[in-house]
Amino acid sequence: MTTATATQTRKFALGRYATVVTRVLTGLLFATTGLNGFLMFMPAPDPSTMAPDGVAFNTALYATGYMVQLLSGAELVAGLLLVVGRYVPLALALLAPVVVNIFLFHVFLEPAGIAMALLVVAAEIGLAWAYRDKFRPMLQAS
């Protein structure tokens, strides 16, 4: 094995481990927050510390009677799929609109959580890039 081949093999292995760690951590985050949407085991943020627009948005989601459960269900299922490593592209596709909403919520309504939102966006983009070959057929014109 040449030095160049050994270096390339190490880079590939390192990237693979980074993908697995990112996938599992992202999956745990979404599985936990999704489960929390049903069981409410984590305390809700204090509305007095949130921006009024953020409170109004959250109130509207709960007022629908179904939206929080729908989001929580999607997060829980996709998070579990990421943790076990099955149907990862499907999980990423399910989470894409959720991640966009998380990001835009923090950009426009509640800037305090923007750092975590950026980490979630980076994880989603990184995982989508790692699984890009699985998305290629879906993105071709028929």
DSSP per-residue codes, 38-74: HH--SPPPPGGGS-HHHHHHHHHHHHTSSHHHHHHHH
Distance CA 75, CA 84 (A): 14
What are the C-alpha distances in Å from 134 to residues 44, 58, 90? 37, 34, 10
Q: Please report the pLDDT score of residue 7 as a whole number.
A: 61
Distance CA 4, CA 26 (A): 33
Q: Please report the pLDDT score of residue 15 as a whole number.
A: 78
Distance CA 115, CA 120 (A): 9
Q: Is the dihedral angle over the CA atoms 127, 130, 131, 135 positive or is it negative?
A: positive
Q: Average model confidence (pLDDT) for the chain? A: 92
Q: Please report the pLDDT score of residue 5 as a whole number.
A: 63
Enter the tokens of residue 76.
């829980």
Q: What are phi and psi of 4, to 5 degrees?
A: -65, -40
Distance CA 12, CA 38 (A): 39
Give the chain's residues under pLDDT 50: none
Q: Please report the pLDDT score of residue 102 as a whole number.
A: 97
Closest CA to 127 of 101, 100, 103, 96: 96
Provide the 3-class DSSP secondary structure of residue 87: coil
Q: Please report the pLDDT score of residue 141 as a whole number.
A: 87
Q: Please report the pLDDT score of residue 9 as a whole number.
A: 62
